[in-house]
Structure 1
Amino acid sequence: MTLKNRAYNFNAGPSALPLEVLEKAQQELVDFQNSGMSIMEMSHRSATFEEVHNGAIARLRKIYSIPENYEVLFLQGGASLQFTMIPMNFLQEGQTASYIQTGAWSEKAFKEAKFFGTPVEAASTKENNYKNIPTEFSFSADDAYVHLTSNNTIFGTQWKTFPETGEVPLIADMSSDILSKPVDVSNFGIIYAGAQKNLGPSGVTVVIIRKDLLEKANKNIPTMLKYTTHADNNSLYNTPPTFGIYMLGEVLKWVENEGGLAAIEARNEVKAKLIYDVIDNSNGFYTGHATPESRSLMNITFRVADEELEKQFLAEATAAGFIGLSGHRSVGGCRASTYNAVPVETCQALAEFMIEFQSSNQ
């Protein structure tokens, strides 16, 4: 299979996977390492799967330079379950936690925290329809933690630098931009991410958590909702999503082969610039949602000149093989999700299509 046979995949998630990874998985699907079984048929207690599992953890540690005082967990339930697990484990009744509101997903996390303690809005850009990342925020030294969403898929904004929170743990939902650039993990108490954008297929949730937080976690909660349960059992307390973990490991190998996070970031900047340049040079035919200083490299959100033209744009784009360009159902418009595995050529093709569409409709 070549790129000529592949759709121009701009889906927001589940999203594009590296072609090389898909081809390798295809080759190994029926008979993994001459075992006579698929990885999906194997016991998660087997030595063969244990090697895959531990290899993925070790590779993530290496690529992300994760310090030894952090656990790496492979969980299920997506980032949405983490919205609940975090306050359940770390927000006691009568305590506050600060939430920085930058979009729908941070709103959902804030809502879940209300079941366990008192979440406080440390900052919000809701009044301008989440067009930018807040530049001012406040939190208390007594907060259990500060929570943010590093990249906002719906509104197309992204944190460029992260706030300093001192002794208060900073917790980040990085579902849509994890592994898209280097990050200093030691600045965070917890990083969590659903796999289905940059890490692999849906079904795996990665949690990187500082060990001292595990020691402070609430112990009077159900077993499966305790981080300590999973940390104490190497994420194998119950049957994990074995195929998803295998695929995650293969995506991490691909990241290494591509030159690591610095190379991935540089390519992501090139891809996003191709499309943002078309928007910026269109004399208002296309308008971006996010302010320039807050623009995401992962989700490029924009509108076309008028509603009828926008419908026409999306219809013609679909006919031309561009998949997933409709904006989130809650806001409409257009969105190109340019995650790690989306090739430069795919973004170049979209940029050329946008220029041609504008030329034909002015």
Structure 2
Amino acid sequence: MKILSPIRMKKYDQFAINTWGIPGPVLMENAGRSTYRLLKEEYLEPGMTLAVVCGRGNNGGDGFVIARYAVRDGFSTTVFLLCEPSDLKGDALLNMQLFRSLPGTIVPVSGGELKGLDQYDIIVDAIFGTGLTKEVRGLERQAIDEINHCDATVIAVDIPSGLEAEKAVPLGTAVKATHTYTYGYAKLGQIIYPGVLYTGRLTVIDISLPPSAEENVGIDAYLVDGPMLRGFYRPRSPHSHKGTFGHVAVVAGSTGKSGAAIMASQAALKIGAGLVTAVIPATLGPVVETKLTEVMKYPVDDRGTGTFVTSSYEELRAFLEDKDIVVIGPGLGASDETTAVVRRLYAEVDKPFVVDADGVNAFVGHGDFIRK
């Protein structure tokens, strides 16, 4: 899954509008219509009532689009507007005017407190979007707290209001959503904690941003998820065998941390390696032998220390020469001799390496090895 910061997401919107010529109202219509479609498919049942809590910005405009489609389909829908109608501008104003042409209800609450949400089946949070950077105060804070005290299903539009979209922290307070429908791309604040706890389920909605924009605007991060991992797999011929799919050497383990070597080796097999050998300090041999069946074991002399030592290097290097992949690090420990062995293997063995855990620690203060 591709992840954006709020600043980069804003650049995508600008690219779509200024470079591709997609009008802002079209993007808002796409966002609101798609949100309503999924909301209806997943949550709405005949006779249900909706409360849409709208702020004064574009997030509120998205809320008006959702409310318009709900009214069109016969659902009793009330929009609670956290400002005066005259405060709205641009695309949000346009969509409020469109909503007014239907028999829905707008309740301005700018002069008092938001009350009565507990009587609705579904609450749509359209107060703040991903651009929020200041602490939530006043009426908006009271509205968010009111939403959080209701037992209704809460749907967040783009991001739970009050959640900082990059650092994943509530700005004073934040809506605790049942489900968040976000637009274009997932945001950093939705996939790291504590933001995950406020986001609930997360669905990314296509709002017609041109895919080519990625080449111009870029991506901030990737979330390793099921679809990404499945994309790495290739069809396997019935004529293949274990030697077809490579030999992984897992250099891991030390006294008290044999479990790391065992689990990493099992994971290598599960992910599809044809052959896996756990390369371990010899002292760990009896423990690892009893725990691993399919994985082969190669104990390396450790002088009885339970960890790799300087004299282990030549034996390690010789064994790794004909392997396809080297996994190094899980449970190795952080002794000076062990970390020196890790760095030397990485520098001198010409194989693809997966460096993890204590393997990463071995390079602290030795960034020149990584650059090479």
Q: Do they fold alike, i.e. is TM over 0.5? A: no
Instruction: Tell which structure's C-alpha radius of gyration is larger.
Output: 2
Task: Tell me which of the two structures has the higher relative contact order, counting C-alpha pairs closer than 8 angstroms and 6 or more residues apart.
Answer: 1
State TM-score, norm by structure 1.
0.26
State TM-score, norm by structure 2.
0.26
